[in-house]
A and B are shown apart, each in its own frame.
Chain A
Amino acid sequence: DAGVIQSPRHEVTEMGQEVTLRCKPISGHNSLFWYRQTMMRGLELLIYFNNNVPIDDSGMPEDRFSAKMPNASFSTLKIQPSEPRDSAVYFCASSPGTPQPQHFGDGTRLSIL
């Protein structure tokens, strides 16, 4: 079975550029989560969707970050404009309706120069 699929796996871009991260959850999972992982802060929840609706976006650091889930099989996390402090590994995760993630994707390693 396909797991949570994220793209790209790696992204290197210059500050000020727009960055879009993509996620395809496991089929049938109706909860989707975006996490950010850094050495300093560990894993942090950015936003949680249930049935495509954002339930908790209190972890989104600032207005430069936005997330959408237009349908049950696709979500994006966008950073515009990007800054060097946004450099981190971004994980998407999904679960079958439970409010905690069951499976994480392999992550997108983002470097902002």
Chain B
Amino acid sequence: GNSVTQMEGPVTLSEEAFLTINCTYTATGYPSLFWYVQYPGEGLQLLLKATKADDKGSNKGFEATYRKETTSFHLEKGSVQVSDSAVYFCALRDSGAGSYQLTFGKGTKLSVIP
């Protein structure tokens, strides 16, 4: 079956530090990959996505590249801000027709301190 493995948190960084949150996956076929962010007290929201190998998703300064050879989709940001403090979820969806189930990782909590 499908699975998503994220680095365990919490991750604590100082403002302007470089962020990497690792995500690897196991799936049959060619899944689509996603990062979701959940800010404190709010619901999840889609941050970025990539639908095929070597695609790079980007949004709000965050980037992730779909690496089929390493089955990875690591999230990066060059300079984090206090407002980036949140829980980040990596997820995948099968590419087959009728595939709507998202498989989520357990989430990585990021705290950015001034």
Contact = CB atoms under 8 A, between A and B. Distances in A.
Interface stretch (A11-19, A62-70, A97-105): A97-105
A43 B102 contact: yes
B93 A100 contact: yes
Contacts of B104: 42-43
A83 interface: no
Given A100-B32, A100-B93, A106-B41, A45 B46 contact: no
Interface in B9-39: 32, 34, 36, 38
Q: What bracket does the count of chain B residues touching chain A fall in? A: 20 to 34
B43 A48 contact: no
Given A42-B106, A99-B93, A100-B93, A59 B43 contact: no
A42 B36 CA distance: 14
Given A43-B104, A45-B102, A106-B41, A101 B93 contact: no
Interface of A: 3-4, 33, 42-45, 48, 55-56, 58-59, 91, 93, 95, 99-107
